[in-house]
Amino acid sequence: MELTSSALVYVMVTFALLITAAVLWLWPRLAGSGPVHLFGRLGILTIIQVVLLAICGLTVNNTYGFYTSWHDLLAPDTSQLALGPVPGGKGGPPGGGTLVQPAEESGLSTVTDLPQGKPEEVGRVDSIRVTGKVTGLSDQMFIYLPPEYFNPKYSRERFPVLLALAGFPAPALALLSDLHTPQTAWDLQRTGRMAPTIVVLARPAVAAPRDTECVDVPGGPQSETWFAKDVPTALRSAYRVSRSAASWGVFGYSTGGACALRLALRDPDAYGAAAALHGDYQVVPDPWASGDLFGGNQELAQSYDLNWRLHNLPVPKSSLLIVSTRTEENYPATEQFLAAVAPITSAHPELTVDSLFLPDGGHTFDSWRRELPASLEWISDHLATPQDREPRT
């Protein structure tokens, strides 16, 4: 039974009700003053409190996605994983590689509105576990393979890739169940508004429950390296995806949107385009979720400030889309960023920045779902058609 399944919560609630009934039945029989009666009462109270805490913990975890599987909960330290060589096969879904493996515990079965049909007709969504060759980090993700991936006519073609990042502390599953990302991508692709694209769905919190904001933490999780180097390397080892950064894009909402902008501007050799829905432009300290990510190193913290970076470091070749609403809390910061970047894009045509604003809406999935189709169309238009092909066999 999966950690994130509703069935597990229902089982625990049923168990709690049975324990409560047992307490009502046993309590009069344990009313004596002897050691057996005393320890019996303590035992029953302990069991029912543990069960109630477990129900609360499961409910909170299902809501915020701190742990997406039993592996996350019981074996969170993946930095010591022994990694083998990159697998040689790149023709189809993973099964025997060391960097990408099928993942059974995912919650994918709870998503009921995925397109139904054969993979060569509607594509397919798989749950996978990706392991980093450089950082040693490991996390569960989802991958949407378009119908063309399974069509023999495209058997030698490589595909563009879109990395979609959830907000914090949402799990990768939120990109399917709440944002409907692969569902929308499939609809756009079948109507010709989006090129056949492989979409990888992940969470930014690779060291849950800590929010690492997609930065390389000194002495801690190397979150930026994970997304900029490990994830592309792993996916290229298992799927027919482009080797060129010009065919790789990154997209996200909230924290995922901020991560998308950082990755595109700091790692243009990994991602050539980014679309950010309601993202921030600098790493905002959060003592509860992230702590001091930079260990007091102000110079390092400054390098992750996008305004400072664009004005003080070489301008990268990249395409950015800023998406928000005019009633969003950080709308003034968005206006400030766009005003500051305008003269830079005029002087450096290798950097383009577009924007899209709805008249109203907040920091909610309702707003992000309305913004999603146009965002996916834009990023598809800014991903180069892969030029590399699979060799003939």
Report the CATH number at residue 165. Answer: 3.40.50.1820
In a domain, 81, yes or no: no
Note whether 226 and 332 are same-domain residues.
yes
Note whether 20 and 141 are same-domain residues.
no
Note whether 175 and 292 are same-domain residues.
yes
pLDDT digits (tens, 9 = 90+) for 285-335: 776 667 788 888 999 999 999 999 999 999 999 999 999 999 999 999 999
Calpha distance 323→254 (Å, rounded):
10
- Given a contact cutoff of 8 angstroms between Cβ atoms, the answer to whether 172 and 201 are in contact is yes
Note whether 222 and 133 are same-domain residues.
yes
pLDDT digits (tens, 9 = 90+) for 48-87: 788 888 788 777 665 544 555 565 566 543 332 222 233 3
What pLDDT was estimated at residue 51?
A: 82
Note whether 154 and 232 are same-domain residues.
yes
In a domain, 223, yes or no: yes
What pLDDT was estimated at residue 87?
A: 33
Note whether 95 and 60 are same-domain residues.
no
In a domain, 75, yes or no: no
Note whether 104 and 246 are same-domain residues.
yes
Sheet with strand 351-358: strands edge to edge: 100-102, 124-131, 138-145, 198-202, 161-165, 248-253, 273-277, 318-325, 351-358
What is the DSSP secondary structure assignment for residue 314, as one 8-state letter? P
In a domain, 322, yes or no: yes
Calpha distance 69→112 (Å, rounded):
20
The pTM of this model reads 0.78
In a domain, 85, yes or no: no
Question: Of 47, 64, 81, at which residue does a domain stop?
Answer: 64
Calpha distance 86→98 (Å, rounded):
7
- Given a contact cutoff of 8 angstroms between Cβ atoms, the answer to whether 356 and 321 are in contact is yes
What pLDDT was estimated at residue 60?
A: 63
In a domain, 376, yes or no: yes
Note whether 134 and 266 are same-domain residues.
yes
What is the DSSP secondary structure assignment for residue 137, as one 8-state letter? -
In a domain, 212, yes or no: yes
Note whether 238 and 97 are same-domain residues.
yes
What pLDDT was estimated at residue 321?
A: 98
What pLDDT was estimated at residue 78?
A: 37
What pLDDT was estimated at residue 83?
A: 27
Note whether 182 and 143 are same-domain residues.
yes
Note whether 162 and 122 are same-domain residues.
yes
Calpha distance 89→237 (Å, rounded):
7
Note whether 276 and 195 are same-domain residues.
yes
Contacts of 383 (CB under 8 A, 6+ apart): 160, 162, 195, 197, 246, 247, 248, 249, 272, 273
Per the structure, the count of domains in the chain is 2
Calpha distance 155→9 (Å, rounded):
43
Q: How far apart are the first and last CA of the chain?
A: 42
What is the DSSP secondary structure assignment for residue 157, as one 8-state letter? B
> What residue numbers bound the domain in which 175 lies?
91-381
What pLDDT was estimated at residue 79?
A: 32
In a domain, 269, yes or no: yes
Mean per-residue pLDDT over the chain, rounded? 86
What six digits make up the tokens of 368?
Answer: 């992000």
Regions in the chain scoring below 70 on pLDDT:
1-6, 60-97, 105, 287-289, 393
